[in-house]
Structure 1
Amino acid sequence: MASRLRPLVPALRAIPRTARLASIQSPAVVARRSLSLKSFFTTRKPKSDPFTSQFEPVLEPANLFHPLSKSPLPPIRTKAEWIGKHGNCPVCKEHTVEEKKAPVFECPDCGYPTHCSEEHYHMDKENHKHVCGTLREVNEDEHDLRSGRHLKEFEFPGPQNRDEAINMSNWDTFLYTRGFNSMNSERSMRHVSHVLTYPLTIASVLHQASPYQLGKDLTVEGLKSLAALRHTLHPPVLPGLTQSQDLRVKATHTVRIFCLGARAESHLPPHIYMQLAYLFPATSFQLHFIGPDAIPPHTKSKESHQHVHYEQLTFVYDNSRYEAYHAEAGPFNPYYDVFFLFSPGLAHPATKDMWKPTIPLLLDTKCAIFGTGFDEQDVMNDVNEIDSAGYELDWLMKPRENAFRSLKHEVNLTDVRQSAQCNWGIWGIRGRRYDVKSAE
């Protein structure tokens, strides 16, 4: 036996140590899916050895704060230039100065161009301090993403064992029970939540472990609609199998998720949405991204309709308006179809007219419709717009804060005093159903 094993020794020695370690890792570690954002943010070329760190850090963790115009990273310097051309000095804006000047003076505490001059900065310093901390946080987050460090927080877990419970109360409990790498800082949590807010917002509504409960968040009609969807998403265990058996059931049902007015959610790499699929191993999904900005990630194709297949997911990208897509997508079934409108701007002057022909079509399907907003005011504007339109509908979910909103702030570059969080709030509606009763 020893003579038969001896020829393998030189071969093993020839394999780099990191590769040998990977071959003996536990299945849970091997299944971990790595999302590398370095290709987007780094300015260094990869080394030739694939088993060593591919990138050298451009910035150290203790050196993340830089004034935007003096950043060592070109994309951030470009952002400073854009603000200088298109932004507004709040002092000039509020005092209706005839000659309004662009913000070129950078706050020494947050690094953002905030005012047209140091004089106006000191005049407005008392107001600026309310947003200064958020701007500095965003500044350091942007530098961290592009720092070239190993982004361990983006190494996502693979499939979940059937007997492992998932807690979806909030980001912390979900990431822990799903086996994500430990988040050692709030910054890492912000990075991950910003990437996963779209698939997890969907999953948190549809999953049987949803944090949204009857009475507090859901109406009776909402529970009915979600019960229909969960009947498909969580089929009973096959005869002869128990929940404790770690066996994967082949997906036998297809649930269609329609994302209307799709923008950023359509640009995510397909494997990000596998975190949604892993929560429903017995279901295959079709994700329909519909809207002029629905473009597959990493493609230069200008085709108006594209399909991308990825494991148990099928992605459909269509650049048409939903009114043109509706007839092709039908018929609809409340057990298999659901709509999501991510920050649609139903009440925004620039987009409200575009949504008017769409909402009645959605309500006619009698399928669940969920929408989000980037802050409380945005959510309530959309809700009030729906209420005032006089639609025949039932409310499924009361407007509330989204448990899986992005924790990262997005700054309005034309007015850096304003920032928002992606998918901050959530609400749900459905076309009204009427119960038929026999006449006595």
Structure 2
Amino acid sequence: MNRWRPASRTITRSFSSLRGNVSNTTTHQQQRLKFPTTTTKTASAHNVMTTRSISWKGLFSPSKKNASYDSTFEQSNRIKLSPDNLFHKLSKSPLPELRDRAAIINKYGVCAVCDTHENHDHKKAPVYECPDCGYPTHCSEEHYHEGYQAHQEICHILREQNEDDHDLRSGRPMTEFEFPTTQGFDETVNMANWDVFFYTRSFPSMDSDRSMRHVSKLLTYPITVASILHESCPYQLGKEITTEGMRSISENYLCLQRNVIFGLALRTVLYPRNEVAKDGVTLIRSETINVYVVGARAEASLPQYIWLQLAYLFPHTPFHIHFIGPDTLPAGKESYTESLNERLMFTYDNSLYHDYHEKIDKFDPYTDLFFLFSPGIGHATAREGWKMSIEKALETKCPIFITGYDKADVETDIEAVEQDYQGEFDWVLNPTENQFSSLKRDVNLMDIRQTINANWGIWGIRGKRYDVTHQPEDDDE
């Protein structure tokens, strides 16, 4: 079975009915691989295909030039589903997007019972929809009953996904997407986890787990970045954060006392002293933080104002987000750079990173860092293609943070990095569960037994640096 990597442009899920409902104001190896125990189990969750199947393009800003789309949108926007009417079999859904999803599963999916047969001629498409989750799961009612017990492991997950997707398009006011704007200087944000972050950042009250899932899926990328940089980050020195990780930002003793994260040099830039210009009023901005998102896919498709939630947490600091990779832009679109405001700039480039690397004059570990969101470095089909880019990123000596969508995915990537770059890197952040992963599961439409959480785990490395020592005898020469 192939490995599925979510969030490519191959099968786009349309969330167009959200348009208008969202406010835009809005050490050791064994120790490193020791993860907290997880309670959710899915069948073959880490055996997935080589492309990811979700894109945010058109999520909030679809083209107004497409008249047929506008007509569909207006019709969809009139549909009202009450909270007690969110479950429908996909093929019978009142929403065309979800009927299309059923058709995709019918055409490309696999019957879980047929899949156990060695003879491919006996394998049939899943056309029978489970009455409990509403997804096409088997080729017939007979096979459904035969595979009933195995299906129960994921049935509740698919039911949840079914209701969540109908809720997103129900036509109700999506108040959970009315994000807060500028953070007050007298407000303190706690990044311990989603619950505490939402509360201390004054997000709208999350009245249900469903609202938490909706918002976490949208914010997992910018807030994962923010959690690594923030002074109240959820990871502790000596546990997740390594000594080298702490050194990579500063030798600030106060930060050591507070158990905050590596890269304290970055912290020095992110939390500057309040210095004013000659007029005695204007605060002097700190240096720009460059975030290189390598292998960008879904994260590059997010509306730019969603990334404002990162900028709001660091009011003194300008950010330049570089989205780099062949899936960053639609085919044929030219690379470009634009600013959302004076503190948030974006670059979109379809180049492979090792080519883009040559365009940058210099890198500074005090202001630059890398993020690779579920890159699949260890996948057999991708491993060789990543080598040159990883080598170039390690050369910069800047922190590199990598996420994975489950424990097996993280461990596969770590194994590949340790084999391919042995002795070339230091650990910055030991592998751990990401406190800001998406709480909403993505379903592989080509095999619905496979579900994942975006950015489930996170770890960090940095190109090895060597300390230079002074020898007194050198002075005599």
Fold equivalence (TM over 0.5): yes
2:86 aligned residue (64, 88, 91): 64
1:334 aligned residue (350, 359, 365): 365
Amino acid aligned to 1:309: S
- Structure 1 range deviating more: 374-383 or 95-104: 95-104
Amino acid aligned to 1:434: Y
Any residues of structure 2 matched to 1:368-379 within 5 Å, and which?
A: 368-379=399-410
Percent identity between the two aligned chains: 52
Which residue in 2 is equivalent to 1:281?
315
Which residue in 1 is equivalent to 2:236?
213
- RMSD of equivalent CA atoms: 2.2
Per-residue Cα deviation, 1:260-296 (whole angstroms, up to 9, x for no partner): 000000000110000000011111111000011112x
Q: Does 1:263 align with 2:286?
A: no
3-state SS of paired residue (2:268): helix
2:161 aligned residue (138, 149, 161): 138
Per-residue Cα deviation, 1:130-187 (whole angstroms, up to 9, x for no partner): 1000000000111111111110000000111111110100000001101100000000
Amino acid aligned to 1:257: V
Counterpart Cα distance in 1 of 2:362 and 2:398:
11
Aligned CA distance change for structure 1 residues 154 and 37 (closer, same or farther; 3 Å): farther
Counterpart Cα distance in 2 of 1:342 and 1:404:
13
Amino acid aligned to 2:156: G
Which residue in 2 is equivalent to 1:392?
424
Which residue in 2 is equivalent to 1:429?
461
Counterpart Cα distance in 1 of 2:231 and 2:190:
10
Which residue in 1 is equivalent to 2:132?
109
Q: In the TM superposition, what is the alpha-carbon distance from 1:55 to its structure 2 partner?
A: 5.5
Q: In the TM superposition, what is the alpha-carbon distance from 1:392 to its structure 2 partner?
A: 0.9
Which residue in 1 is equivalent to 2:435?
403
Per-residue Cα deviation, 1:1-37 (whole angstroms, up to 9, x for no partner): xxxxxxxxxxxxxxxxxxxxxxxxxxxxxx9824x96
Any residues of structure 2 matched to 1:88-167 within 5 Å, and which?
A: 88-97=110-119, 98-167=121-190
Q: In the TM superposition, what is the alpha-carbon distance from 1:238 to its structure 2 partner?
A: 2.5
Counterpart Cα distance in 1 of 2:83 and 2:377:
41
Counterpart Cα distance in 2 of 1:73 and 1:184:
25
3-state SS of paired residue (2:319): strand
3-state SS of paired residue (1:172): helix
Counterpart Cα distance in 2 of 1:425 and 1:391:
23
> Structure 1-normalised TM-score?
0.85
3-state SS of paired residue (1:253): coil
Native 8 Å contact 1:360 1:391 kept in 2: no
Per-residue Cα deviation, 1:305-348 (whole angstroms, up to 9, x for no partner): 11121011110000111111111123100011100000000011
Native 8 Å contact 1:38 1:146 kept in 2: no
Native 8 Å contact 1:56 1:149 kept in 2: no
Aligned CA distance change for structure 1 residues 71 and 391 (closer, same or farther; 3 Å): farther
Q: In the TM superposition, what is the alpha-carbon distance from 1:44 to its structure 2 partner?
A: 5.5
Q: Where in structure 2 are there 5+ consecutive unaligned residues?
A: 1-22, 27-57, 63-68, 249-262, 473-477
Native 8 Å contact 1:169 1:211 kept in 2: yes
Q: How many residues align?
A: 392
Which residue in 2 is equivalent to 1:253?
287
Counterpart Cα distance in 2 of 1:337 and 1:132:
43
Q: In the TM superposition, what is the alpha-carbon distance from 1:58 to its structure 2 partner?
A: 2.2
Counterpart Cα distance in 1 of 2:308 and 2:89:
37
Aligned CA distance change for structure 1 residues 184 and 294 (closer, same or farther; 3 Å): same
Per-residue Cα deviation, 1:186-209 (whole angstroms, up to 9, x for no partner): 000000000000000000001111
Counterpart Cα distance in 2 of 1:414 and 1:422:
18
Which residue in 1 is equivalent to 2:334?
304
Higher relative CO (CA 8 A, sep ≥ 6), structure 1 or 2?
2
2:348 aligned residue (300, 317, 329): 317
Amino acid aligned to 2:152: K
Q: In the TM superposition, what is the alpha-carbon distance from 1:56 to its structure 2 partner?
A: 4.5
Counterpart Cα distance in 2 of 1:100 and 1:218:
48
Counterpart Cα distance in 2 of 1:384 and 1:127:
31
Per-residue Cα deviation, 1:394-427 (whole angstroms, up to 9, x for no partner): 0000111000000000001111111000000000
Which residue in 2 is equivalent to 1:438?
470
Per-residue Cα deviation, 1:90-118 (whole angstroms, up to 9, x for no partner): 11111324321011110000000011111
Which residue in 2 is equivalent to 1:381?
412
Which residue in 2 is equivalent to 1:13?
none
Q: Where in structure 1 are there 5+ consecutive unaligned residues?
A: 1-30, 47-53, 241-246
Which residue in 2 is equivalent to 1:33?
25
Amino acid aligned to 1:273: W
Aligned CA distance change for structure 1 residues 331 and 173 (closer, same or farther; 3 Å): same
Q: In the TM superposition, what is the alpha-carbon distance from 1:253 to its structure 2 partner?
A: 1.7
Which residue in 2 is equivalent to 1:50?
none
Native 8 Å contact 2:274 2:284 kept in 1: no
3-state SS of paired residue (2:285): coil
> Structure 2-normalised TM-score?
0.79
Counterpart Cα distance in 2 of 1:108 and 1:248:
62
Counterpart Cα distance in 1 of 2:111 and 2:234:
42
Which residue in 2 is equivalent to 1:364?
395
